[in-house]
Structure 1
Amino acid sequence: MEHEVKTDRRILRTKHSVMKSFLELYAEKEFEQITINEIAERANVNRGTVYLHYTDKYDLLDHCMEDHINALISRCKNREVSKSSHGMVQEPKPVFDYLQDHFSFFFTTFSNQRVFLFRDRLLHFIVVNLMDKMEQPDNPPVVDKELKAQFLASAFIGIVEWWIRQRMPHSSQFMAEQVKHLFEKNQVYSE
């Protein structure tokens, strides 16, 4: 049993090293120019080890995006549980803090030609979050809930993308306050 834990840790370290190497290369050059050989060399593993964990560089990018989306979801859910708030909608600051903490990845992703993959995943996460918050059975909405969620999520992603591409000219606190005011004005939740 003790041997299994060591094996798991080695696998985790190897995957972390491969992911870290990939992200460094992703920040340095265009995605299409990155090769598995470069990733393996930088991670100090052979290319077979990379293929053992990921089918190709697209799979590696997908895992990376999935990890960031899951981290955002986790951060929002932890906030909801710990503060009985409304997650990203009520308190968007943790989302902006996370984006700021991982600036390199997000800047590269939003600057890359493959931005639509990440944008679609982020959009889905935000739409689901917004639709949950717009449940108001005693006050039927004038605008369809799903359309409103799509509209607001698209606007939110546009703001995030602008903020990141402009190299974060405002603090995460300022951005969170601005987004919160926009959500309030659009009656995503009652004040």
Structure 2
Amino acid sequence: MDEQTIDLRMIRTYHFLSDALFELVLKKPFEEITVTDICKKAMVHRTTFYKHFEDKYQLLETMFSEEQRKFIELHIEEGETEQEYYRRIIRQMFEYASKYKDFFVQSTSHIKNDFMAYLLKNTVSTYLNRCFHMDEKRLGIPSPVPIAIMSEYYTGAAIALIMWWLQNGMRTSIDQMVDYMSFMIVW
């Protein structure tokens, strides 16, 4: 079997398993979901699951890492101001939350341990950390506040605001939320 066929099978298996976990989290708490549940839903053998992942936590972490990679690929575009760039980042976070709203609302209401909250926080924090380092390098001016502290601060604020928005039925438009968050950052 050629290498491309193996890679495509691995990708397909990953998608089946991650989709299954996503659907299951919408129905019951993550802690109650078993590898057997995931495999049944994905129609994948447990041995196949364990060839790719140690446990359901590693699968979930891989899912978040994949999303984190998408965020990290965002770069400042030519001719874009710093404010426009950050507005685009904020918009991306709200659009992502909107797309996966059921997952976030259900999973956070089901959390008994902090694993999912940790993964979400880590995804946003890693992304913001990278953005702040790029800004520091691009501007040639060191940050007056350590970047790790800024990342933690804005991560906490962003997650709390996004969760509030989701739990309140997303009655405020994404455009308005981007404006509000931008004003709070600048103000």
TM-score under structure 2 length normalisation: 0.80
User: 2:52 & 2:158 partners in 1: Cα distance?
Assistant: 34
User: 2:52 & 2:131 partners in 1: Cα distance?
Assistant: 31
- Which position in structure 2 is the counterpart of 1:157? 159
Q: Could you say what secondary structure the match of 1:71 adopts?
A: helix
- Which position in structure 2 is the counterpart of 1:116? 117
Which of 66, 69, 89 is the aligned partner of 2:86? 89
User: 2:107 & 2:70 partners in 1: Cα distance?
Assistant: 16
User: 1:112 & 1:153 partners in 2: Cα distance?
Assistant: 21
- Which position in structure 2 is the counterpart of 1:99? 97
- Which position in structure 2 is the counterpart of 1:189? none
Higher relative contact order (CA 8 A, sep 6+): 2
Contact 1:131/1:145, CA 8 A, preserved across alignment = no
Q: How many residues align?
A: 179
| 1:126 matched to 2:125 | no
Contact 1:72/1:98, CA 8 A, preserved across alignment = no
RMSD: 2.7
- Which position in structure 1 is the counterpart of 2:9? 10
Aligned CA distance change for structure 1 residues 81 and 174 (closer, same or farther; 3 Å): same
User: 2:143 & 2:15 partners in 1: Cα distance?
Assistant: 48
The unaligned stretches of length 5 or more in structure 1 are 186-191
User: 2:8 & 2:140 partners in 1: Cα distance?
Assistant: 48
The unaligned stretches of length 5 or more in structure 2 are none
Moved more, 49-58 or 112-121: 112-121
Which of 168, 174, 177 is the aligned partner of 2:176? 174
User: 1:107 & 1:57 partners in 2: Cα distance?
Assistant: 20
The C-alpha deviation readout for 1:98-120, integer Å capped at 9, x for no partner, is 22122233323433423431243
TM-score under structure 1 length normalisation: 0.78
Aligned CA distance change for structure 1 residues 66 and 85 (closer, same or farther; 3 Å): farther
Contact 2:95/2:174, CA 8 A, preserved across alignment = yes
Aligned CA distance change for structure 1 residues 88 and 105 (closer, same or farther; 3 Å): farther
User: 1:131 & 1:161 partners in 2: Cα distance?
Assistant: 26
Q: Could you say what secondary structure the match of 1:28 adopts?
A: coil
* Letter matched to residue 109 of structure 2: S
